[in-house]
Amino acid sequence: MDQAKSIFSQLPLRLRVTRVQKCAYLADQTEQRLATDMSEHPQAHDRLAETGFRRVENWVYKPVCPNCNACKPIRVKAEQFKPSRNITRIQTVNRDLKRNLSTGRLGLDHYDMFQRYLGYRHEDGQMASMSFDEFSAMILNSPIDTTLTEYLDTEDKLMGCILVDKQRDGLSAVYSFFQPEEEKRSLGSFMIVELIERCAELGLPYVYLGYYIEQSRKMSYKARFKPYQIFSEGAWQDQ
């Protein structure tokens, strides 16, 4: 039984199904989401996240696409994670970067990097028109414990950011963006490895990476962080 069903029966969470729109990851597919506002019930977030829901601002959502089930919730078993040779190389390339937990201030350097990142990640067309205020809301609006982690080079240039939710059983990578011209650094993967290490240091078992899509090159990379679990048929299953 999917645990999310019992959560919705216990709390007055109002569900809505979003409009059908073009899928950002698979050609010739459309997407729909089941979503609910968490503003007044932040205590329910962790239980919903543990059943495959994802957060954006005050909302949590889950795909309910009528003709597709390619999106698979994925989480890494942090304490068992062993970096591959490629991951070790990525860590070495980025050893000059320093980590900084943001105090909540967002500047034009964050927004500029975000906009250039979207131009590089072609599938993010819906976000490309975000104003600075909308971008700030995406980063700062959260009913739960959320932090923005920044990575700076030796000259204090902003190189990448990752928005992280803290859950009772782990850390969740909500969204990340980085300097798109720094391809050799593999900054997206580097920030995930850093998050896995932080999770293990905190004694938390899982890093949630959102949805894995085997057929999408932009989303299939998440399977390189092993061992991991996929949420399927109402339960997390080792892969």
Tokens of 238: 């080792």
- Looking at the chain, the whole-number percentage of residues with pLDDT higher than 70 is 92
Are 153 and 97 in contact by the 8 Å Cβ rule? The answer is yes
Task: With CA atoms as reference, report the closest residue to 21 among 7, 9, 12, 33.
Answer: 33
pLDDT in tens, 72-120: 999 999 999 999 999 999 999 999 999 998 877 899 999 999 999 988 8
Residues 128, 203: Cα–Cα separation, whole Å: 37
pLDDT in tens, 4-36: 555 555 666 888 999 998 888 898 899 999 999
Tokens of 218: 């932009």
pLDDT in tens, 132-181: 999 999 999 999 999 999 999 999 999 999 999 999 999 999 999 999 99
**Model pTM above 0.85:** yes
Strand residue runs (E) in the chain: 15-17, 21-22, 30-31, 33-37, 54-56, 59-63, 72-77, 98-101, 146-152, 158-167, 170-178, 206-212, 228-232, 235-238
Q: Check pLDDT > 50 for residue 233.
A: yes
